Amino acid sequence: MISIKKTYITAILSMAVIFCGLLLVNCVTPRHIEELKTELNELKQQNQNTQDMVTRMDTII
């Protein structure tokens, strides 16, 4: 009976440690936010460049 109880306690503690680890890994820091903003701005610029090229191609055709 004691070994079953210890097994349950060990399983519960293991799951709690894994859960806490997953929560801490997914934390967003201000540095991550700034990197995402930079990437978003680059994508917007690329999108604008592509739209400009398509517009120029349409005027040529």
Pick the more confident residue, 55 or 28: 55
Number of domains in the chain: 1
pLDDT in tens, 3-34: 888 888 888 889 988 888 877 776 777 888 89
Distance CA 8, CA 38 (A): 47
Give the range of the structural domain holding residue 49, as residue numbers without chain letter.
Answer: 2-60
Interval 35-61 mean pLDDT: 92
**How far, in Å, are 10, 11, 14, 27, 38 from residue 5 at the CA level?**
9, 10, 14, 34, 52
* pLDDT category of residue 61 using cuts at 50, 70 and 90: confident
With 0-12 / 13-18 / 19 or more C-beta atoms within 10 angstroms meaning exposed / middle / buried, residue 3 is exposed
Is 56 a residue whose pLDDT tops 70? yes
